[in-house]
Copies of this chain bind each other. A is one copy, B any other.
Amino acid sequence: MTNLKEKHQSALDAAIKALHERKFFTLYPENPSPEIYGETADKEGRDKYKTYLNNNFAELLQENPEKWVGQEDSPYTQEKLGVKYPYFSTETLISRAENAFHQWRKVSPTDRAAVLVESLERLKSRFFDIAYATMHTTGQAYMMSFQASGPHAADRALEALAAGFEEQTRFPNQTEWEKPMGKYNLKLNKIWVAVPKGISLVIGCSTFPTWNTVPGMYASLVTGNPVIIKPHPKAVLPIAIVIAEVQKVLQENGFDPNICQLAVDAEDHLITKELAENPKVKLIDYTGGTTFGNYVESLPGKTVFTEKAGVNSIILDSMTDLDKVAQNLAFSVTLYSGQMCTAPQNFFIPETGVMVNGENVPYETVAQKLAEAVTGLVNNPKAGPHVLGAIQNVATSDRVKDMAAMKGKSVLDSCQIQNPMFHEARTCSPVIYEVNAEDKEVYSKELFGPIVLLIKTKNTDESIALAKEMAMEHGAISCGAYTTDAAVKEKIMDEMSLAGTPVSFNLTGGIYVNQNAGFSDFHVTGGNPAGNASFTNPEFVIKRFTWVGFREPIVG
């Protein structure tokens, strides 16, 4: 422990500093290059991934499973992975977590943080294994699989654990309180303890199985709460590898590996609700659809952190280079086939067109440029397949097909894009539909996947009003806006701030509205129906423990 504290002190200090400066900071290089990760790292990761297929996942330190279960299949091969995970009843999971709680809660925040940073360090050697596991469960392309599930997730975990460590050390453990009473001074010795709330449940999603899971997991762990991680049944392997590494580090340092448990559904028995409703579960982190998210938020006696669905907007007003804008937006909607919670969906464009370098460009031209940019990107064999990836869930590709029956005019049809490496890959490139501003029933919900709606508005004021309304009523996680007019920009900032929605202005080139940087961009604000939590603001960690004080007179 002493070694781990010394080993990781500078990383922890740097992370806390980064949280407050909010400048560029990362501890885990996002480039999967051999120079950084070693010549053989990629091949070893791919080989390691293959050893998991059609096998029991035996790395976890959770003893005596009732059975082995698994139901993943690859969006790239459309075949079963055949990985089986140990299944435990809710009773077993809760009772092990409760035992572990009484050990873990007594460990100091400093020691907890040291163990957890060490676990991230170990994870670094598994980034490529996790990348292939992520590709073949989520359908993400290789690069995103590596970055999002590996270094970016590790940075987000470090961010949450740094924030949790900082909050637990913001008040003194002990102080002498001395009140002048005239003839004498009243002296009390005071002690404060950050008491963890209890068993924490983290419910994962199918598209970002580690990135969306590790912040809540590490936030709960650093604040002394044992965690049960319940991944989506279709995306278990990436987070199972993470949990295995955490368990090994816990055990090596003399702690109960059940401080961090994997919980999986059996095919005939889903356990999420059982776990969530168990009175001993005090904290729940959830990423996924709105209906289940609302259910989780409604559970009494729980502290709940959610990321649900949102309806993200693009506001097009004025710009200097329409082609660059169209290319940037085409990339944003194509990236992972629109299966990101930050992907834009509703494009608000004035029916009178936009201003480009002071000249009016008609609405139709804007629509055409966007369609051309998407077509150009998806049909570029060197780019298209590697940006699109594959469709995680067949319901998503079905949704795209169903759009044909929708009110609105098709601007660009979807086409299947052949993946050069995986001929069976489930792919779907973005479709673009045109909708009138009045047809709110079409665009006032999340249409998850590669679906873009061009919404004709009277003018930018109406665009802003509708983007704000959508965010306030249906949630939003991102917003992109293009304007060269300072007053319009000011108005967008003001209105979207009231809708709790971050705005990226005038993005072109290699930065996209979908992207959020750890230690700098707060991910989800918690200020609209898209979710009640934010990676990582202080609220995300301080709600996981309670300050309790003790005091006693100092005699003499």
Report whether over half of chain A's contact residues are helix, strand or loop; otherwise say mixed: mixed
Query: Does A362 count as interface, using CB distance less than 8 angstroms?
Result: no
Q: A171-B22, A505-B551, A553-B509 are in contact. Are A500 and B546 (CB under 8 A)?
A: yes
Q: A188-B511, A504-B552 are in contact. List 8 more A-B contacts (CB 8 A).
A: A175-B520, A186-B509, A493-B550, A502-B551, A505-B550, A522-B548, A537-B542, A538-B538
Q: A23-B178, A511-B186, A517-B179 are in contact. Are A537 and B548 (CB under 8 A)?
A: no
Among the 9-residue stretches A138-146, A192-200, A332-340, A348-356, the one with 4 or more Cβ atoms under 8 Å from chain B is A192-200
B21 with A175: CB separation less than 8 A: yes
Which of chain B's residues has its CB closest to A519's CB?
A: B177
Query: Does A172 count as interface, using CB distance less than 8 angstroms?
Result: yes
Report how many copies the assembly holds. 2
Contacting A525 at CB < 8 Å: which of B497, B501, B522, B546? B546
Q: Which residues of B contact A193 (CB under 8 A)?
A: 493, 497
B526 with A546: CB separation less than 8 A: yes
Q: A190-B22, A497-B193 are in contact. Are A539 and B543 (CB under 8 A)?
A: yes
Q: A22-B190, A517-B179 are in contact. Are A542 and B552 (CB under 8 A)?
A: no
Query: Does A534 count as interface, using CB distance less than 8 angstroms?
Result: yes
B511 with A553: CB separation less than 8 A: yes
Contacting A20 at CB < 8 Å: which of B170, B507, B517? B170
A548 with B497: CB separation less than 8 A: yes
Contacting A171 at CB < 8 Å: which of B20, B170, B188? B20
Query: Does A27 count as interface, using CB distance less than 8 angstroms?
Result: no
Interface-centre pick from A197, A517, A548, A553 (highest chain B CB count, 10 A): A548
Question: In the complex the two chains form, what is the Cα distance from A520 to B190 in whole Å?
Answer: 9
Query: Does A503 count as interface, using CB distance less than 8 angstroms?
Result: yes
Query: Does A420 count as interface, using CB distance less than 8 angstroms?
Result: no
Q: Which residues of B contact A504 (CB under 8 A)?
A: 550-552
B181 with A500: CB separation less than 8 A: no
Q: A497-B548, A547-B537 are in contact. Are A553 and B507 (CB under 8 A)?
A: yes
Q: Which residues of B contact A197 (CB under 8 A)?
A: 527
B195 with A538: CB separation less than 8 A: no
Query: Does A508 count as interface, using CB distance less than 8 angstroms?
Result: yes
Query: Does A44 count as interface, using CB distance less than 8 angstroms?
Result: no
Query: Does A427 count as interface, using CB distance less than 8 angstroms?
Result: no
Q: Which residues of B contact A546 (CB under 8 A)?
A: 500, 525-527
Q: Which residues of B contact A543 (CB under 8 A)?
A: 539
Q: How far is the CB of A183 from chain B (nearest CB, A)?
A: 10
Question: In the complex the two chains form, what is the Cα distance from A493 to B549 in whole Å?
Answer: 9
For the complex of A and B, 9 pairs with smallest distance between CB atoms? A527-B546, A505-B552, A502-B549, A24-B179, A195-B497, A497-B548, A500-B546, A525-B546, A503-B550
Query: Does A415 count as interface, using CB distance less than 8 angstroms?
Result: no
Question: In the complex the two chains form, what is the Cα distance from A16 to B539 in whole Å?
Answer: 19
Question: In the complex the two chains form, what is the Cα distance from A471 to B508 in whole Å?
Answer: 57
Q: Could you show 13 A-B contacts with beta carbons less than 8 Å apart?
A: A20-B170, A20-B172, A22-B175, A181-B510, A186-B511, A191-B493, A197-B527, A502-B550, A506-B553, A507-B553, A522-B548, A522-B549, A527-B548
Q: How far is the CB of A398 from chain B (nearest CB, A)?
A: 32
Question: In the complex the two chains form, what is the Cα distance from A541 to B511 in whole Å?
Answer: 34
Query: Does A274 count as interface, using CB distance less than 8 angstroms?
Result: no
Q: How far is the CB of A174 from chain B (nearest CB, A)?
A: 10
Query: Does A252 count as interface, using CB distance less than 8 angstroms?
Result: no
Question: In the complex the two chains form, what is the Cα distance from A248 to B490 in whole Å?
Answer: 32
Interface-centre pick from A177, A501, A509 (highest chain B CB count, 10 A): A177
Q: Which residues of B contact A20 (CB under 8 A)?
A: 170-172
A538 with B23: CB separation less than 8 A: no
